[in-house]
Amino acid sequence: MEVRIEDYALIGDEQTAALVSRTGSIDWLCLPRFDSGACFAALLGDKHNGHWRLAPKGAGLCDRRAYRPDSLVLDTEWDTPEGSVRVTDLMPQRDRAPDVVRIVEGLSGAVTMRGALRLRFDYGSIVPWMRRTDGHRVAVAGPDAVWLRSEPPVRTWGEDFCTHSEFTVHAGQKVAFVLTWHPSHEPRPPLVDPHGALRTSLADWQEWAARCRYDGPHRDAVVRSLITLKALTYRPTGGIVAAPTTSLPEQLGGVRNWDYRYSWLRDSTLTLNALLGAGYLEEAEAWRDWLLRAVAGDPADLQIMYGISGERRLREVELPWLSGYAGASPVRTGNDAVTQLQLDVYGEVIDSLSLGLSAGLPEKPHMWQVQRALMDFLRTAWKQPDEGLWEVRGGRRHFVYSKVMAWVAADRAVRALEENPQLGGDLEGWRAMREEVHQEVCARGYDPKRNTFTQFYGSSELDASLLLIPRVGFLPPEDPRVVGTVDAVREELGHDGFVRRYSTAGPNVDGLPGDEGTFLVCSFWLAEALHLTGRTREARELFERSVALANDVGLLAEEYDPVDGRQLGNFPQAFSHLGLVNTALCLYGGKGASPAFPER
């Protein structure tokens, strides 16, 4: 049975996350962190690469599923000829060790349940030794140990390198399973009360969600997006992964398969804007502090992404034993784009620090010195070609968005120094750089015949990132060049009402074969740009269509294929959910709406 990307739901403990399918199978889980090796990797192969299914005997897809209100606790229900049953899945916030809790509850009749647990460490490549200890099943291989127990105990047996179970649950009865990981050289952690963990998790999530101060249309979608962003946060450091998965394809059967279990600097301003606008100052400060730690060092060595604790070495390797989701190979871990030069990230970092300060986040020691160092590097580096926002692998070019973000860096630095001359810095030099960048972009990155900015200097291609020009204040929304660019992007990159990030049919800008779907955050960007240019009705219609692409539990992947009607790419995707939150704030008001910068 093929499981579509949108057939999955997310559970997590703010240090890692699992994907649960509509068949009741956990097909992806990395332990103990987002970027650790997966112990369930069926998502990128088959059941022999590891999964944990818990469902009625002989059942297929569930009849219904939903998160408990304002939480990350998932209920999945089946109706069978013998009765109805619910499986509740969660990962309680951990004290030390990660746990997966699955509670089976009989709703009516008497339903026979089947369980199949295949643990395969290191992305499905290692079959552990299994043994029984004190009524538990224990799996050990190298550094990893996993314990499985049930309350009350149910019969389990081993067959085909898999731990099976079968039991009958009557109406009103509950059977709870707890799977716990720990380093194999350490003793087993204290046992978790599954029912107490459920109560605590529900209370914690609902209390957190209640802090959301957005109260406009589609509040449920905004809150679900914020919960998803919270779930993608690595709580010990504040870093936010782009997605909890690797190698879910941008084209079915294609090679555009990347590891997104890292933190991208390009997301920084959008992340802060969403968190601050929704009222989550603590999370915004944690992200800002992660950002400051990650970028510390020589500005020339600034990376586009880092590990969730700020790690810099993210070497890309292929895992040939995994066939890939729906045959899309290779499966990759790590990401070679980490070595690319992307000049836009300098603007993202400085803009983020400026935004945080203006929103009232407390200053940190050396924060201004970091910005000065970045500006000292960018004053000459902005003239270089780079790989651009989308990490293309087709060579460096003078990407217009990269230049615009260099302007943003200079603009924010100038404004900070104008407001507080005591900070110190080369005010006149930065003003001159700001003006030089602006003039060059308008001269070399704009096509007057078509009345649109282009993807890179001398190009006839477009790029959805150009939609952000009014948002960052490079030009006012009413400028004819902005309006023309918005119209051109909608016309040339539009696909069945949604937006591609750039064309893959023209010159091979990204250096990759094949195609990809529409990029979900770009549709949200278009909605915001339409609103800023005075077309609010059209903006809200596009926003409605984009929100409707979320799956039945409110989650969005990276991309959407309008032809096949399927989500594509890593899932769930922080960028997509950030787009949803920020566009809702922009369209329907609130303190998180797009920053308004004075016209030049």
How long, in residues, is the chain?
Answer: 600
Q: Is the pLDDT of residue 235 over 90?
A: yes
Pairwise CA distance, residues 324 & 327, whole Å: 5
Query: Does residue 298 sit in helix, strand or coil?
Result: coil
pLDDT tens per residue, range 92-124: 999 889 999 999 999 999 999 999 999 999 999
Strands (E), 42-82: 51-56, 64-67, 74-80
Contact 129, 181 (CB under 8 A): no
pLDDT band at 595 (very low <50, low <70, confident <90, very high): very low
Q: How far is CA 548 from CA 36, 173, 527, 556, in A?
A: 33, 37, 14, 10
Contact 317, 378 (CB under 8 A): no
> How far is the C-alpha of 191 from the C-alpha of 101, rounded, in Å?
12
Up-side HSE of residue 286: CA atoms within 13 Å toward CB?
16
Please give the DSSP secondary-structure letter assigned to residue 305: E
Q: Is the pLDDT of residue 384 over 70?
A: yes
Res. 589 pLDDT band, cuts 50 70 90: confident
Would you state the pLDDT for residue 510? 77
Coil, helix or strand for 291? Answer: helix
Average pLDDT over residues 537-566: 97
* Token output for 331: 């499966």
- The Cα 47–Cα 27 span in angstroms is 8
Q: Is the dihedral of CA 181, 193, 73, 581 positive or negative?
A: negative
Higher-scoring residue by pLDDT: 2, 454 = 454
Q: Which residues pair with 151 in a beta bridge?
A: 176
Where do runs of H (alpha helix) occur along 179-336?
194-209, 219-231, 268-278, 281-295
What is the pLDDT of the chain when averaged over all its residues?
A: 94
pLDDT digits 0-9 by tens, 122-168: 999 999 999 998 889 999 999 999 999 999 999 999 998 999 999 99
Q: Percentage of the chain surpassing pLDDT 70?
A: 98
Whether 451 shows a pLDDT value over 80: the answer reads yes
> pLDDT tens for residues 189-234?
999 999 999 999 999 999 999 999 999 999 999 999 999 999 999 9
Any idea what DSSP says for residue 22?
A: T
Going by C-alpha positions, the residue among 393, 572, 391, 407 that lies closest to residue 6 is 572
The answer to whether the CB of 289 falls within 8 A of the CB of 216 is no
Q: Give mean pLDDT, residues 175-181.
A: 98
Whole-number pLDDT of residue 241 = 97
Cα separation, 476 vs 438, whole angstroms: 13
Predicted pLDDT at 592: 39
pLDDT over threshold 60, residue 506: yes
Q: Domains (ranges, CATH) in the chain?
A: 5-197 (2.70.98.50), 212-588 (1.50.10.10)
99, 89 contact by CB (below 8 A): no
DSSP code per residue over 326-362: GG----EES-GGGG---THHHHHHHHHHHHHHHTTPP
CA angle 226, 560, 27 (to 5 degrees): 70
H/E element holding 1?
none
186 token code pair: 């350490």
Residue 599 has pLDDT above 50, yes or no: no
| Residue pLDDT, tens place only, 468-480 | 999 999 999 999 9
3-state secondary structure of 521: helix
The pTM is what? 0.96
At residue 180, the pLDDT reads 97
